[in-house]
């Protein structure tokens, strides 16, 4: 049966790839398709649960390490400080505000939960994933500054939210265990040793690449293999010394990208090509393994929390974060809505729930997974019409901050 199931999946991926470009201009997104397909395959029973759960954990960890490293490596820190006012404000102020507001909202729906668990769930629902609203970031009618702002924010906020997720998970575990374990010290080790490992691997790896390129010792094909190996090295080194491997991958990518300054073209090519396949696989497995169970646990309080998080928490946080900037009210609303919850929310939840005990693990994972598929649906169907309406509003205004020229990024494209 597993062979038949794999055959169906392979044929489906091939078929989807042949129409993906056409679908990209519609309200149907790849995350929507693969979440739905995975759920349908689970209902038919083509895949035994034991095997798929093991594969999900493996793919989840690989996808998270690779995507954290590659997303971070595309961010020009110098340009971020000088030119990226909007994403900078959304990251430094919007993200903490979203966690703060989310904690308060979660308490309204789950008042019996300990504060650490409320904050943990709020942190899990804070990261965004531009892939769920790809029609927005690829629509040329939307001003480049706005599209790049969303891309830069989504590339960084998952890595920036991860320390909060780990800290609150450790606190929640301590509360639920009722034992005097030094969870704070454990979290501190994770949050300090991880970045150290990432800095070492990213800096040394970047310098080695430049050295090899200058002497003709490597080629683009081999550089790509090396970049993926560096992502894995950062993760494994952090794990060996007691740090968090995912933070190490994120920091390692950030350092590596700013050392090589765009001289590793594989990063951008992988993100556009093979990275898509990795993302599709992760969404498919989420639908296959987690969505069916999450649907059975979806309650009215849970649904209410998810909708308030999507419609109120992030939009309010981003609106406040962008006050006293040159972002117009429509732009602030546009940024606030198009922050879909995607792989980071699901994979972070999947990886931390074993730490916090069964009483909270099930509900927290159910909220996270239900948020992902609801966000994929709502943001997917609103991306194309939303981008068109917003672009028309900006066009009617004429020259404005949204249409100002922007700086250059690593790959030669314009940047906010």
User: Each residue of 49-69: pLDDT tens digit?
Assistant: 556 777 777 887 888 888 888
Domain residue spans in the chain?
2-415
The pTM assigned to this predicted structure is: 0.85
Q: What is the pLDDT of residue 372?
A: 94
Across the chain, mean pLDDT equals: 84
Among 114-118, 182-186, 347-351, 398-402, the range of highest mean pLDDT: 114-118
Q: What is the pLDDT of residue 115?
A: 93
Q: Which residue has the higher pLDDT, 398 or 363?
A: 363
What average pLDDT does range 144-164 have in this prediction? 84
Domain 2-415 = CATH 3.10.620.30? no
Q: Helix, strand, or coil here: 408?
A: strand
Sorted by sequence, the CB contacts under 8 Å of residue 296 that are 6+ apart come out as none
Q: Which residue has the higher pLDDT, 49 or 343?
A: 343
Residue 187 to residue 281: CA distance in whole angstroms:
30
| Residue 413 binned pLDDT confidence (cut-offs 50, 70, 90) | very low
Q: Which residue has the higher pLDDT, 221 or 319?
A: 319
Q: Helix, strand, or coil here: 129?
A: coil
16 to 9, 25, 43, 269, 314: CA distances (angstroms): 10, 14, 20, 20, 32
State what percent of residues in the chain have pLDDT above 90: 33
Comparing C-alpha atoms, which of 411, 412, 331, 339 is closest to residue 375? 339
According to DSSP, residue 414 is labeled E
pLDDT digits (tens, 9 = 90+) for 283-336: 998 998 899 999 999 999 999 999 999 999 999 999 999 998 888 899 999 999
| Residue 266 binned pLDDT confidence (cut-offs 50, 70, 90) | low
């Amino acid at each position: 049966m597993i062979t038949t199931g794999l055959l169906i999946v392979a044929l489906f991926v091939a078929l989807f790839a042949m129409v993906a470009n056409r679908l990209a201009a519609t309200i149907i997104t790849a995350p929507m398709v693969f979440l739905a397909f995975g759920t349908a395959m689970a209902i038919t029973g083509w895949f035994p649960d034991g095997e798929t759960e093991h594969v999900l954990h493996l793919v989840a960890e690989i996808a998270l390490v690779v995507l954290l490293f590659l997303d971070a490596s595309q961010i020009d820190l110098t340009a971020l400080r000088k030119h990226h006012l909007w994403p900078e404000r959304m990251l430094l102020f919007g993200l903490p505000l979203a966690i703060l507001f989310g904690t308060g909202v979660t308490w309204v729906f789950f008042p019996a939960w300990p504060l650490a668990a409320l904050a943990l769930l709020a942190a899990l629902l804070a990261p965004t994933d531009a892939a769920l609203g790809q029609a927005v970031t690829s629509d040329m009618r939307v001003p480049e500054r706005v599209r790049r702002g969303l891309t830069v924010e989504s590339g960084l906020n998952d890595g920036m939210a991860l320390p909060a997720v780990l800290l609150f998970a450790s606190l929640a575990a301590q509360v639920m265990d009722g034992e005097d374990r030094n969870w704070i010290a454990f979290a501190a080790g994770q949050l300090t040793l991880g970045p150290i490992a990432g800095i070492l691997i990213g800096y040394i790896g970047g310098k080695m690449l430049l050295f090899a390129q200058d002497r003709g010792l490597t080629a683009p094909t081999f550089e790509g293999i090396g970049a993926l190996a560096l992502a894995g090295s950062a993760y494994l080194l952090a794990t060996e010394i007691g740090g968090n491997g995912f933070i190490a991958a994120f920091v390692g990518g950030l350092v590596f990208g700013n050392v090589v300054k765009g001289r590793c073209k594989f990063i951008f090519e992988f993100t556009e090509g093979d990275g898509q396949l990795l993302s599709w696989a992760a969404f498919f497995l989420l639908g296959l393994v987690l969505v069916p169970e999450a649907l059975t646990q979806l309650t009215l309080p849970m649904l209410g929390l998810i909708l308030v998080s999507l419609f109120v928490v992030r939009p309010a946080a981003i609106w406040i974060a962008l006050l006293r900037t040159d972002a117009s009210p429509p732009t602030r609303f546009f940024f606030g809505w198009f922050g879909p919850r995607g792989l980071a929310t699901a994979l972070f939840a999947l990886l931390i729930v074993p730490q916090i005990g069964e009483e909270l693990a099930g509900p927290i994972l159910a909220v996270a997974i239900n948020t992902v598929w609801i966000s994929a649906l709502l943001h997917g169907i609103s991306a194309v019409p939303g981008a068109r309406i917003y672009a028309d509003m900006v066009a009617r205004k004429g020259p404005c901050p949204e249409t100002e020229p922007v700086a250059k990024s690593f790959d030669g494209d314009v940047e906010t």
